[in-house]
Amino acid sequence: MMSWLLVMPIAIPFATAVVAYLMRMSDAGRWISLAGSALSLLASAALMVAVLERGVVAAQMSSWDAPFGITLVVDYLGAVMVVITAITGLATAIYALGEIPARLEKLGYHALFQTLIAGVTGAFMTGDVFNLYVWFEVMLISSFGLLVLGGSREQLDAGIKYVALNLVSTLVFLSGIGLLYGVTGTLNMADLRDAVANAENQGLITVIAMMFMVGFGVKAAVFPLFFWLPASYHTPSFAVSAVFAGLLTKVGVYALMRMFTLVFVGDIGFTHEILIWVSALTMLTGVLGAAAQTDFRKILSFHIISQIGYMTLGLALYTPLALMGGVFYLVHHIIVKANLFLVAGVANKLAGHTDLNRIGGLYKSSPLLAALFVIPAFSLAGFPPLSGFWAKYLIVKAAIELDNWLIAFVALFVGLLTIFSMTKIWGMAFWKPHPDGIDPTPDRVPDKVRIPMMIPIGGLAAMTILIGFYPEPFVQFAEVAAAQLLDPTDYVETVLGARP
């Protein structure tokens, strides 16, 4: 029965995609998509309960024993990622009720969206490297479709860059898989841990580790592999860019965390040292890139990059505290960043544009939206007592404990520059009057569109506040997750002992 708990969060979105596609010509499609998202949230919550009881849950597909069959395995980190994926999916499914026009629905928006969620969930749950590649591809092909759906010139331009760089990264990852199989003869992650540690040619293992780092690095958008992200994330519809911003890069970070704690730990002095400097440069270039932009979504896109730096830093420092901070950051950031993109969508609907020079006056006419912007924005910058403060605090404290003062300084400095960007958005979009003299009151948008768009924003902001004011259970959860990452004995034993 345990195996079905693991299957459902993947199977439900797939089934929803099929039904939603067949119903795409009528209004039923969007409600099916919404119901499917709600069901997957229930399924992932059930999975979370099982993980809280047992620590690690694993199952073999098709009754083939590990390490030969495909393993689905979820530990604390995997479980929280699956749940947060379902939450983001539900939030954007509600948002899409208001935002996505019937024209895009008829092209199969909901089917692509649900396939994307299935791909992301699968990537978080799989315990097999080649299967991870397959989930990456499921995710990629549906994200390609969503990115260019509608087919404006900007989208096609962005699509070309996104597709090109992501395909190269996939092929680097695939070659890495091939070499890893050649050296170890297995692709099951739990089995790989011992196989890699006992491999004769440790130099080759480090080379393979670097191929994985480059492959996942492009997905996670770390320095200097991030160029596809700011070139593409500001072009699709807002619900799509919120899902992309919240989830897609995080799959890269998750894969890095998984592989570089479970498998590639033989040469930490080399691989993780590289990651430290990559993280520092990622934080800096992201935040400096944002300072030069004036488009709402472009600023946010560059901030994704700078925030990715914090998460990989948590992995790179490789102490219990740092990893705990990394896990906490991952969860906090998905909620906050998806929410900011959703706010950008409402701002666009009200004020008519995303270029900050061409909008304004939102504070005066929509104070509710302004308040809902301030919560995730300040959380992103790390203001106490919002969720981002605790995330940054844990990472910086971990850096200081290692006497790595330069990194701690960079992390704090980047936080400061983040405030600068957020106040820029605040000043230009919310505070100054609208340049065209328009009064962007909420009445400009019909209730049928506005209310579904505001509900998820309010919900996600409430979660940010909840994590901010009651961080203890979340921090404790992250602590167990980090302990499991650093000592994966439980993970390995559960997978290899998993009966089909």
Task: Name the residues that contact other proteins, by CB under 8 A.
Answer: 3-4, 7, 11, 14-15, 17-19, 21-22, 59-63, 108, 111, 130, 133-134, 137, 140-141, 144, 148, 151, 153-161, 163-164, 167-168, 170-171, 174-175, 177-179, 181-182, 231-232, 234-235, 293-295, 298, 500
**Among residues 175 and 441, whose Cβ is nearest to other proteins?**
175
Q: Which is nearer to other proteins, 313 or 359 (CB)?
A: 359
Question: Are the CB atoms for 331 and 86 separated by under 8 Å?
Answer: no
Residue whose C-alpha is closest to residue 374's, from 298, 311, 468: 468
Cα–Cα distance for residue pair 139/118, rounded to 1 Å: 8
Residue placing its CB nearer to other proteins in the complex, 78 or 108:
108
End-to-end CA distance of the chain: 10
Shortest Cβ distance from residue 67 to other proteins (Å)? 11
Q: Which is nearer to other proteins, 295 or 442 (CB)?
A: 295
- Cβ contacts of 161 within 8 Å, gap of 6 or more: 227, 228, 231, 232
Q: Which is nearer to other proteins, 101 or 178 (CB)?
A: 178
What 3-state DSSP class applies to 73?
strand
**Nearest distance in Å: CB 229, other proteins:** 12
**Closer to other proteins at the Cβ: 167 or 455?**
167
Give the C-alpha separation, 339 to 88, whole Å.
Answer: 9
Angstrom distance (rounded) from CA 376 to CA 335? 8
Three-class DSSP category at 69: coil
Q: What minimum distance in Å lies between the beta carbon of 464 and other proteins?
A: 30
Three-class secondary structure of residue 19 per DSSP: helix
How far CA 253 is from CA of 77, 190, 260, 275, in Å, comes to 12, 19, 10, 12
For 103, the token pair is 């024209």
Provide the minimum distance between the beta carbon of 305 and other proteins in the complex, in angstroms, as a whole number.
17
**Residue 362 Cβ, how far from other proteins at the closest point, in Å?**
21
> Closest distance between other proteins and the C-beta of residue 423, in Å?
21
Cβ pair 281, 292 in contact under 8 A:
no
- Measured from the CB atom, the residue of 231 and 334 that comes closer to other proteins is 231
Q: Which is nearer to other proteins, 341 or 363 (CB)?
A: 341
Cα-only R_g, the chain: 22
d(CA 284, CA 286): 5
Please classify residue 329 by burial: count the beta carbons closer than 10 Å to its beta carbon, then call 0-12 exposed, 13-18 middle and 19+ buried: buried
Provide the CB-side half-sphere exposure for 157 (13 A, CA).
7
Q: How far is the CB of 468 from other proteins (least distance, A)?
A: 34
Q: Shortest approach of other proteins to residue 134 CB, angstroms?
A: 7
> Toward other proteins, which CB reaches closer, 167 or 486?
167
- Element (DSSP H or E) covering residue 213: helix 202-220
**Shortest Cβ 438–other proteins spacing (Å):** 21
